[in-house]
A = this chain, B = another copy of it.
C-alpha cells in the first residue's frame, strides 16, 4: 500500500499526538500509515461527561478516516499493534500482519494502572475509552435504580455511596458531575429513595487534590466541590478495592473502610505496553525515556509523542499526560522526521504550556495560565470556550453547545441511558 518511491512513515495512535503528527505530514512527499485499534479519535477531556450522561459518545468522537479524509498521502488502518521490532523496522499487528516503516512515530497513549492490582479493575473501572465511559454511566445509573428497589436501609445507603479514587482533574470533574446528578437532576424522580441523600466521596492519597494547580485555585476547587455536597478526603490512600467497599490507610480522621457500591478509578495511568517492546529504557510508568528531539536512544528513526514519552529535558518531572503535550510532541516528531529525510539535524522539543483547567460541576471551574488564574463562573466560561474550540468537527461543536445550553437551563442530562452491551435475546 505504501508508495515505494517516498519514505514510509508509520504513526501508531490516532489520539492527540498521532493526529497532529499526521497533520504535520500533510502534502509532504512521504507516504503515511496511521494505525489505531479504535476507528475514532476521542476528545478525552470531555470523556467524564459521557460517563455522567451529559454528552453522547458521538459528540466527542469522530472517525479518524473522516478527520484525515483529505490527506491523500495517508492511509488509515484499524488494527492492534502487538510489538515493534526497531531493528527490522517492523510494526507487528494482530492477525500475524506487519507493516514495514522507514520512520515510526509512536503515540499510543496510556491506559489506567492499578499499581499491580489488575483484579481491582472489575470493582473500580477506569475512564480511558468510550466503552469505559458507557460502563461507568451504566453502573452509576443502575445504582440509583437498585437503591429504589432495595428494602434494607444499610444496603440502600451503600448503593447510594459513590467513591472516586484519585483527586486529579478526572476525579474532580467526575465528582462534580455526579453530585449534580444526585442533588439536582434526579431529584423528584424516585419514590423510595431521595437521590439528594447520595454521598459522593473523592479520595486522594496525597495531601491535596489537584496537585498540579496552585494553592489558591485548589482552595476554590475544594470550596466548589463542598458546595456541591462532595466529601473531599485528602491523605486517604486506598489500600484495597473490595466488592462494594474501599479500604483506606493512613489518613487522620478518615474511617478505614468506605462502603460504596460504585467505585471509579481515576488514580493511576501507565503508558501503552507497546513502548516496552522497543527494548529501550522506560520509566516506572512504562514511558519511553526519549532524547531531547523525542527520538528513542539508539533508534533515530523512531520518535515518541504524548503519554508514551518520558520527556525530562525541560522540567525535572516528566511532562504531564495532557492533550497539549501530546499535540505539540506529535507535530514536533513529524517535523523531525521530515528534517531527517531532508538530511538536516533534528530540533530539540520545547513545551509551550498554554495552561491548565478543570471544571467542578455547574458553572464553576478553575484555570491556571501562569500569567493569570481564574476561578468560578468566569473560569467556567473560559473552560467552555476552550473545549468547544478544540472539539473536532462543526457538527460536534454545535451539538455539544446545544446539550450544554439545554442542561444548564433545565438541570437535565440528556443521555441517562442504561445500555447493556448485550444485544436482546430473540424468541426461539
Contacts and interface: CB of A to CB of B under 8 A. Distances in A.
A416 interface: yes
B424 A126 contact: yes
A131 B424 CA distance: 7
A40 B420 CA distance: 12
A295 interface: no
A398 interface: yes
A40 B189 contact: no
Interface in A118-170: 118, 121, 125-126, 128-132, 134-135, 141-142, 145, 148-149
| Number of identical monomers bound together in the oligomeric complex | 2
A111 B426 contact: yes
Interface stretch (A60-68, A298-306, A364-372): A60-68
Nearest to A126: B426
A39 interface: yes
B417 A395 contact: no
A317 to B, nearest CB: 20
In this complex, the member of A402, A416, A419 whose beta carbon has the largest number of chain B beta carbons within 10 angstroms is A419
A416 B192 contact: no
A77 B76 CA distance: 46
A288 to B, nearest CB: 15
Interface string A283-300: 000100000000000000
Interface of A: 1, 38-40, 56-59, 61, 63, 65-66, 69, 75-79, 95, 97, 111-114, 116, 118, 121, 125-126, 128-132, 134-135, 141-142, 145, 148-149, 186, 188-192, 270, 273, 286, 394-396, 398-399, 402-403, 406, 412, 414-428
B406 A395 contact: yes
A214 to B, nearest CB: 31
B423 A125 contact: yes
In this complex, the member of A57, A424, A428 whose beta carbon has the largest number of chain B beta carbons within 10 angstroms is A424
A417 B63 contact: yes
Contact of A131 (B112, B114, B421): B421
A118 B78 CA distance: 32
A315 to B, nearest CB: 24
Contacts of A145: 39, 78
A142 B40 CA distance: 12
19 contacts: A39-B418, A40-B418, A56-B57, A56-B415, A58-B414, A58-B417, A112-B424, A114-B426, A121-B425, A130-B419, A131-B419, A131-B422, A131-B424, A134-B419, A135-B423, A395-B406, A398-B406, A399-B414, A421-B422
A371 B50 CA distance: 46
B65 A190 contact: yes
Given A58-B414, A65-B190, A395-B412, 20 more contacts: A56-B56, A63-B417, A65-B186, A69-B189, A75-B192, A77-B149, A78-B142, A79-B149, A111-B426, A112-B426, A114-B426, A118-B426, A129-B423, A131-B423, A132-B423, A286-B427, A394-B406, A399-B402, A399-B414, A421-B422
Given A57-B56, A395-B402, A118 B417 contact: no
A67 to B, nearest CB: 10
Nearest to A138: B39
Nearest to A121: B426
Nearest to A55: B58
Closest 5 CB pairs of A and B: A58-B415, A270-B427, A421-B421, A56-B56, A78-B145
A211 B59 CA distance: 38
